[in-house]
Amino acid sequence: MNSIATEQISTLKISIYRYDPDTGNKPFMQEMDIDIPSDKDIMVLDALHLAKEQDPSISFRRSCREGVCGSDGMNINGKNGLGCITPLSEVVKKNKLEIRPLPGLPVVKDLIVDMTQFVDQYKKIRPYLISDKEDNGKEIPQTVEDRDKLDGLYECILCGCCSTACPSFWWNPDKFLGPAALLQAYRFISDSRDTAREERLDQLEDAFSVFRCHGIMNCVSVCPKGLNPTKAINEIKKMLVKRAL
Amino acid sequence: MSKPPIFLNLLKIQLPIAGFSSILHRISAVGIFVLLLPFSIVLVLASNSEEGFSTVSYLLSLNSIKILLVLLLTGLTYHYISGIRHLVMDFGYWQTLNAGKISAILTIFLSGLISLMLLVVVW
């Protein structure tokens, strides 16, 4: 039985992608009814916990439950998002909630995907400050204007919602860096303290790394932090074109 | 150990209008690629001799050929307008989600309108 501390209860049909590597069976959608409070809006992650009370074998990642750790990225009624900050009122249609793993990545178990491809692409952009200035043990000063350039970039929590919503990443996960990695690439390219700007651009100058983005904006549409990877990618493209001219 | 499954059922994944517009851009490119060569041959045939012109006039009076011609013109129209939209975005405009949606809707609407006009002209 579900246990929720409320008087007003309604029933939600929830359908969850299930896959158990130990059985070797094909993935299937498990349907169940869960009782949810009708007098308040709960999050998708809460609904998953209620489902897990009925079937403890349901597996999913979660940690902070407030949109900071980025571990509970999943496909909710067809759209990627973080379970912990997605209210049911935003996604439930006809009293039905379908939850699947992030698209395009190998499924480890149920809603847990193997993020290796995603992380490998992130590693490629060298997501750390590179400076050829002598390290005197002090911080590197930056003007307020230069610091402002990092807004809208540094906030990425690497949940993977954007890259796994991107068709270019689905078809070329090893060659196209994907929106998340490219947003971070631009974050370091635009950092006034970083001195490896040209090297970073050299690394991106091929047919796949950046130019596989066709600006369809799926990444912007799903980003739980409201960031705009398409814009960052276009800025990188413009820099590459300017360099070439 | 068997290969892990990958969830990638396109029918179960929401595609925003900008994505739909992008797919139409690709489809129109394939359509143009397939149809442009035969219609180029028809054009050459029509301009080479009077007999060729008569043959092409007859061909273009057939409904099946008219449909193919409208498809080609529709594809060209859509691809052209969508291409301009992408160019504008490449120059750094219409990069917000809302602008992307509106420009995609306008692209589809405008192409549809022009295609309808072409349909009337061809028939």
B-proximal residues of A, 36-95, CB under 8 Å = 75, 77-79
Task: Return the C-alpha torsion angle B78, B84, B87, B92, nearest 10.
Answer: -110
Domain locations along chain A: 9-113, 116-244
Confidence at A69, pLDDT banded by 50, 70, 90 = very high
pLDDT above 50 (res A1):
no
pLDDT above 70 (res B1):
no
B-proximal residues of A, 132-171, CB under 8 Å = 165, 167, 170
Domain at A9-113: CATH code:
3.10.20.30
pLDDT above 90 (res A115):
yes
User: Min CA distance, B59 vs chain A (Å)?
Assistant: 38
pLDDT above 60 (res A4):
no
**DSSP notation for B48-84:** H-HHHHHHHHHHHHSHHHHHHHHHHHHHHHHHHHHHH
State the average pLDDT for chain A.
Answer: 95
B-proximal residues of A, 105-134, CB under 8 Å = 105-108, 114
What pLDDT is stored for residue A82 in this prediction?
Answer: 98
Contact assignment for A234 to B14 by CB distance below 8 Å: no
Confidence at A136, pLDDT banded by 50, 70, 90 = confident
User: Which sign does the torsion angle of CA A138, A143, A149, A153 carry?
Assistant: positive
User: Which sign does the torsion angle of CA B12, B14, B17, B23 carry?
Assistant: negative
pLDDT above 70 (res B83):
yes
What Rg value do the Cα atoms of chain B yield, rounded?
Answer: 19
**What tokens does A20 get?**
């158990």
Best mutation target among A105, A211, A217, A239 (most B Cβ atoms within 10 Å) is A217
In this predicted model, what pLDDT tens digit does every residue of B28-80 receive, in sequence order? 999 999 999 999 999 999 999 999 999 999 999 999 999 999 999 999 999 99
Q: A27 — contact with chain B (CB < 8 Å)?
A: yes
A104, A106, A234: residue with CB nearest B95: A234
Higher pLDDT, B6 or B22: B6
Contact assignment for B22 to A114 by CB distance below 8 Å: no
Q: Sort out which chain B residues have CB atoms less than 8 A from A104's CB and list them.
A: 6-8
State the average pLDDT for chain B.
Answer: 93
**What tokens does A241 get?**
């074109």
Q: Sort out which chain B residues have CB atoms less than 8 A from A170's CB and list them.
A: 8
The domain made up of A116-244 has a fold known as: Fumarate Reductase Iron-sulfur Protein; Chain B, domain 2 (1.10.1060)
Domains, chain B, ordered by start:
18-122 (1.20.1300.10)
Q: Give the SS3 label for residue A14.
A: strand
What pLDDT is stored for residue B2 in this prediction?
Answer: 78
Confidence at A168, pLDDT banded by 50, 70, 90 = very high
Q: What is the mean pLDDT of residues A38-54?
A: 95
Contact assignment for A78 to B13 by CB distance below 8 Å: yes
**Interhelix angle A116-124/A178-189, nearest 10 degrees:** 20
Q: What is the mean pLDDT of residues A173-177?
A: 97
Q: What is the mean pLDDT of residues B16-26?
A: 92
**What tokens does A27 get?**
């993935």
In this predicted model, what pLDDT tens digit does every residue of A118-135 receive, in sequence order? 999 999 999 999 999 888
Q: What is the mean pLDDT of residues A23-51?
A: 95
pLDDT above 90 (res A190):
yes
**What tokens does B102 get?**
């509106």
Q: What is the mean pLDDT of residues B12-18?
A: 93
Q: What is the mean pLDDT of residues A230-242?
A: 96
pLDDT above 60 (res A3):
no
Best mutation target among B10, B14, B86 (most A Cβ atoms within 10 Å) is B14
Q: Among A59-63, A170-174, A188-192, B88-92, name the one with the lowest average pLDDT.
A: B88-92
